[in-house]
Structure 1
Amino acid sequence: MNDQHGTNETGPVSDHPRDVSTEPGRGPKPSFAQAVRVWARIGLLGFGGPAGQIALMHREVVETRRWVPEDRFLHALNYCMLLPGPEAQQLAIYIGWLLHGTRGGLVAGILFVLPGLCILLGLSTLYALYHQTGMLSAVFFGLKAAVLAIVVEALLRLARRALKTVSSRAIAALAFAALFFFSVPFPLVILAAGLFGLLTAKRKAEARWVAGATDRSRTWPQTLALVGLWSCLWVAPLGLILALWAAGNVFFALHIFFSKMAVVTFGGAYAVLAYVAQQAVETHHWLRPGEMLDGLALAETTPGPLVLVLTFVAFMAAFRLPPAGLDPVVAGLIGGLVATWVTFVPCFALIFLGAPSVERLRGNRMAVAAMSAISAAVVGVILNLAVWFALHVLFANVQQSRFGPLVLSVPELASFNVAAALLAALAGSLLFVARLGVVGTLAVCAAGGLMLSLL
């Protein structure tokens, strides 16, 4: 094992990384069966969004079992923060790869998603079939108010970590203004922030290769073969869809749309939800106004990455637009699985392709600068989401007005919902004062919505 100033080692490291348990003060390397049990536990208990999931992972593999050193855990997390997609799941893949190579990464990543996926598909089915009843509508009314407080909590948590300098706060403000006032596409905001970080980085030293600059983890043919393999896996459902149904079916549209989302979801689910909601409601007409908030409430109540809310969106789209002769529920399940596949397969590819080199590359000032700028921009992105949610939770009618390049969302003051405001205030007090947690807050607000409907 090399530390940050370690000596050179030779030989490929792509499939069998150096045993991290050989570092001083670390526990013994776990067996594969032990690791599987822990990854299953993390997948079942992974509530609370990425912050809670990363904290749970840290407690399980660093503090309690000492399988991975602290500095290696943080180094892996920094890399995952740079990638599109859910950083907590990518971190699980990375740590699983560190411990047991490719099979360890596959098991860790799959078990991180599988419990939440199964639960969310079941909840989506119930929602699609029964959510129009008065009781369920009241429950989801309470959940929407809770989600608003949860998004605000996520915003504050990320802001404390990412906005430590004047420039980072300026980046966040500019990102928010670009999205909220000028409707700049989300991917362009993230790209601009990353480029700004690269251009302003202090180039005091070249990137340092811990294992030696002459040692390569893979040959170019090996890398190209791996890229080809994961690319084929990513688009595999598309071939099956075209073979079974016509090109214009909903599954084809879902595959294309969520494939695009998979490569621009920097900052996790919160960062991309406003864009997905707009496209799903206004462009594709897959969801009705307000249903994205219902989907996020469902995702918040299940373990696993919050980006599973995209599974809900795809389920509803296919449920409402099934191919001829296909049962709507079956179509919804297929649509949800298609969106899940194209969302999460790139996570495995990015880790297996990049982790060997990242393990050997330390102190890269350019990468750190880009990551910091992107993290700051994501704060602005989530602020935009919080404002968007607040307007649609607290007001029944919100109109968009355009003044040249400026686009303003203006609520109708007479449509202010006092009950929603009271429930949102309750959710905020439970989260910030009582420290009840996400699941408890959602449960209380769901009960509150039901009580208000009875009254």
Structure 2
Amino acid sequence: MNGPNYTLRELTLYFLKLGAIGFGGPVALVGYMHRDLVEKRKWITEEDYKEGLALAQLAPGPLAAQLAIYLGYVHYRIIGATLAGIAFVLPSFAMVLALGFAYVKAGGLPWMQAVFYGIGAAVIGIIAISSYKLSKKSLVKDWLLWTIAIVVAMVTFLTERENLWLILTAGIVVWLYKSPPKLSKRLPVVVLVPVLLQASAVLLNEKLIQIAWFFFKAGAFVFGSGLAIVPFLYGGLVAEYHWLNEQQFLDAVAVAMITPGPVVITVGFIGYLIAGTPGACIAALATFLPCYLFTILPAPYFKKYGKHPGIRAFVDGVTAAAVGAIAGAVCVLAKRQLTDMIAVAMAVITMLLLLRFKKIQEPFVILAAAILGLIIKNYL
């Protein structure tokens, strides 16, 4: 393996910046990483990126955070993975912590609905363009990969959830079609072994232990990216433990969409509402710990066996399925968010701007959309 053409400090600073200004949710974030690290800076190869995306899609937890951890691992192993993960999550965690403090002090965030209206429409445009670029890059002109992507996109749209078994099946189909195993040889198999850790009771009260275990399960057992974790959180937070009411939960989802970085960082906001700063820290740590472990533990095997034709074919199939799932998720989000013609127009204008002016920065689009949302909801 060739040595890296970048330093660990440069990589850490990149993920710190992405965590601070990376709007758009997991679809957009994985697109930014490909654009910045593969296409522009050429720090990461296309093969390493695809392996990371496949691993992130296979394992439970937030897609974008897992990909960031894996890309940190590529050249700098455990220390790179750790620093990349922390740098990516830290800025948005600080923001949701501040929002949680303001929310509690103000008794709610009534302006959030207006801001979310504008930002939500722009975000749909941003992630649609990211999905389009990712599809062109990953699927090229391979009819089998395009077929898989279209089928998975349709299933994701109709069921409104990602199907892990369908994604695994896609990998197996491409593997059997492109590089069928020979009976005389054993194909290396990467096994993902779930790692379950019990939270220590030392220095933690009963409620904090409950928070730690609940959010650890959320990170360890929920497959899918970004808002796919929302149904699990709703069932536990509102229906089972009654830690939040309906309005607080909806506000927490809105916070996830108006802050940069991984969407799942809203668990920090939720943890703050439940038990203050300790609750926020424990909720975030418990949610992201499984995705960290599920990335660094199988990563050496992906690096060791990733060049094998069978593994490469499997990764291609999983990547195609991941692209399809992302495209389906874009359609689901659009159906929920674009509820009137003004929102549709804002999304379309966002897409046209990003296609026409390729150097335009997404945060400026988000800021303009937020201002438009406030104006439209308050004065029109």
Per-residue deviation at 1:338? 1.8
Contact 2:16 2:87 in 1 (8 A): yes
Per-residue deviation at 1:255? 2.6
Determine the C-alpha separation between the residues in 2 that align with 1:87 and 1:147. 21
Per-residue deviation at 1:369? 3.1
Of 351, 368, 377, the match for 1:432: 351
Determine the C-alpha separation between the residues in 2 that align with 1:155 and 1:65. 22
Pick closer, same or farther for the CA change 1:269–1:255 going to 2, 3 Å: same
* 1:376 corresponds to 2:376: no
The aligned residue for residue 173 of structure 1 is 154
* 1:122 corresponds to 2:98: yes
The aligned residue for residue 324 of structure 1 is none
Contact 2:19 2:91 in 1 (8 A): yes
The aligned residue for residue 256 of structure 1 is 213
Contact 2:216 2:290 in 1 (8 A): no
Q: Following TM superposition, where does structure 1 have runs of at least 4 consecutive aligned residues deviating by more than 6 angstroms?
A: 212-217
Query: 1:112-261 counterparts in 2 under 5 A?
Result: 112-132=88-108, 136-137=109-110, 139-150=111-122, 152-153=124-125, 156-157=128-129, 160=132, 165-166=146-147, 168-179=149-160, 190-194=163-167, 196-197=169-170, 200-201=173-174, 203-204=176-177, 205=179, 231-232=196-197, 235-236=198-199, 238-240=200-202, 244-246=204-206, 249=207, 251-261=208-218
Deviation digits for residues 245-274 of structure 1 (CA, Å, limit 9, x no counterpart): 23xx3x344333322221344442133335
Pick closer, same or farther for the CA change 1:32–1:84 going to 2, 3 Å: same
Contact 2:153 2:324 in 1 (8 A): yes
Could you tell me the percent identity over the aligned residues? 25
The aligned residue for residue 412 of structure 1 is none
Deviation digits for residues 76-134 of structure 1 (CA, Å, limit 9, x no counterpart): 333323332233322222222222221121111111111111111111211232154xx
Q: Specify every segment of 5 or more residues in structure 1 that has no aligned partner in the other structure, as ranges.
A: 2-19, 22-27, 180-185, 319-330, 395-420
Residue identity opposite 1:169 in structure 2: I
Pick closer, same or farther for the CA change 1:72–1:86 going to 2, 3 Å: same
Per-residue deviation at 1:337? 1.6
Determine the C-alpha separation between the residues in 2 that align with 1:29 and 1:433. 34
TM-score of the superposed pair, with normalisation by structure 1: 0.64
Q: Specify every segment of 5 or more residues in structure 2 that has no aligned partner in the other structure, as ranges.
A: 140-144, 355-359
Per-residue deviation at 1:308? 0.9
Greater RCO between the two (CA within 8 Å, min separation 6)?
2
Contact 2:121 2:343 in 1 (8 A): yes
Query: 1:343-362 counterparts in 2 under 5 A?
Result: 343-361=287-305, 362=307
The aligned residue for residue 378 of structure 2 is 453
Deviation digits for residues 328-363 of structure 1 (CA, Å, limit 9, x no counterpart): xxx232222222112211222122211111012233
Deviation digits for residues 383-419 of structure 1 (CA, Å, limit 9, x no counterpart): 44554556xxx5xxxxxxxxxxxxxxxxxxxxxxxxx
Pick closer, same or farther for the CA change 1:446–1:114 going to 2, 3 Å: same
User: Which is helix-richer, 1 or 2?
Assistant: 2
Deviation digits for residues 188-229 of structure 1 (CA, Å, limit 9, x no counterpart): x62342354356445253579xxx989999xx9xx99xx8xx
Contact 1:427 1:441 in 2 (8 A): no
Determine the C-alpha separation between the residues in 1 that align with 2:229 and 2:186. 37
SS where residue 260 of structure 2 aligns?
coil
Contact 2:220 2:291 in 1 (8 A): no
Contact 1:142 1:445 in 2 (8 A): no
Deviation digits for residues 4-33 of structure 1 (CA, Å, limit 9, x no counterpart): xxxxxxxxxxxxxxxx32xxxxxx644444
Determine the C-alpha separation between the residues in 2 that align with 1:282 and 1:385. 24
TM-score of the superposed pair, with normalisation by structure 2: 0.75
Contact 1:258 1:339 in 2 (8 A): yes
Per-residue deviation at 1:35? 4.0
The aligned residue for residue 183 of structure 1 is none
Pick closer, same or farther for the CA change 1:314–1:33 going to 2, 3 Å: closer
Determine the C-alpha separation between the residues in 2 that align with 1:50 and 1:72. 18
* 1:299 corresponds to 2:256: yes
Contact 1:193 1:374 in 2 (8 A): no
Pick closer, same or farther for the CA change 1:30–1:294 going to 2, 3 Å: same
Pick closer, same or farther for the CA change 1:147–1:52 going to 2, 3 Å: same
* 1:69 corresponds to 2:42: no
* 1:110 corresponds to 2:83: no
Answer with 1 or 2: which has the greater Rg: 1
Residue identity opposite 2:367 in structure 1: A
Contact 1:84 1:266 in 2 (8 A): yes
Deviation digits for residues 409-438 of structure 1 (CA, Å, limit 9, x no counterpart): xxxxxxxxxxxx466345324423444765
Per-residue deviation at 1:381? 5.2
Q: Which has the larger displacement, 348-357 or 78-87?
A: 78-87
Of 306, 313, 319, the match for 2:270: 313
Root mean square deviation of aligned Cα: 4.0
Determine the C-alpha separation between the residues in 1 that align with 2:68 and 2:326. 22
Residue identity opposite 1:299 in structure 2: A
Contact 1:266 1:378 in 2 (8 A): no
